[in-house]
Structure 1
Amino acid sequence: MQTTAPTLSSFNDFLAAARAQPDAQRLLFVFGVAELPPTHSPGQAIRFREGRGGALSPVMCVDKAIGELADFPALVAESRSTGQPWDVVFAAALAAPAGREPSEPEVEQALRSMIGAVHRGAVERFLAFDAEGRSLLLS
């Protein structure tokens, strides 16, 4: 019998999957803004103006316990209260074994790792959502 991993196509799917895990989870979010790279070509500038291409730069991050976040609109409202604009939010969950919560150093290290991955464009292992909560497939 072949099994496949469940598809997480919405923010609600992500929350439900995290809540269903046997180990305690911390939800990790890195918010990014689309920018034109400083060393862009004329073609890159055209594509960027058309809403395609560019680079994503992390602008803020946050971690949440599962019970601290009801839904995507709550995450958006909290993020907007900072005054920092963003275009994409990357999401991941961090588990700690043995029924304990992930420690603060573990969470900080995971967030640093996510930020570094966003800087490098290595975001394929994260879920990505636009500001409306639509799932994104970034390449």
Structure 2
Amino acid sequence: MASNDFDALIETALGESGGARLLLVLLRSETDAQTSGSGSLTPVLANDVVVEAGVDLDAVVRQADLVGLPWDLIMAAVLTDPTGNVPSSAAAEPHLKKMADDLMRSGDVSRYAVFDRTGNRLSISRAH
């Protein structure tokens, strides 16, 4: 049984036939002190990970913290390959770029899951 929403995403991805790659964009949250509850999210780092046994939130957080950049949230998606193979890092790259671009350009980020550092899923909305 998964201990948090992030690990539940991993469990689902592990069930994909042929394997999957986890797409991760680490985000830094900046809150505007003038307007309660509003702020911005900035992509800090994008990475992809093959979904396999041993990949869980703790492993992702440890790896992300090794980079030394401050981050608060994880935006995630799962990439599969219709041929049944695990997608390569090269295949993941344009998807990671799109994730970061969607966030920066106030695009549709509803297709991505966003988690806090403890693995709880969050809902983010964009300013209009």
Q: Which has the higher helix share?
A: 1
Partner of 1:12: 7
| Corresponding letter in the other structure for 1:132 | T
CA distance 1:68–1:57, change in 2 (3 Å): farther
Amino acid aligned to 2:117 = A
Larger Cα-atom Rg? 1
Q: Which runs of 4+ in 1 moved over 3 A?
A: none
- Render the CA deviation track for 1:18-74: whole Å, top value 9, x for unaligned: 0111232110000111136xxxxxxx5422xx5x21111101011000127521111
**Which residue does the alignment assign to 2:86?**
101
Question: 1:136 maps to what in 2?
Answer: 122
Tell me what 1:46 maps to: 34
Distance (Å, rounded) in 1 between the aligned partners of 2:118 and 2:70? 13
1:28 aligns with 2:23: yes
What CA distance in whole angstroms lies between the structure 2 residues aligned with 1:62 and 1:78?
10
Amino acid in the other structure paired with 1:81 = L
Residue pair 2:28, 2:42 contacting (<8 A) in 1 also = yes
- Equivalent pair of 2:23/2:96 in contact (CA under 8 Å): yes
Give TM-score scaled by structure 2 length.
Answer: 0.84
Q: Is the Cα contact below 8 Å between 1:30 and 1:91 reproduced in 2?
A: yes
Query: Number of residues paired by the alignment?
Result: 121
| Equivalent-residue separation in structure 2 for 1:111 and 1:69 (angstroms) | 22
Structure 1: any 5+ residue segments left out of the alignment?
1-8, 37-43
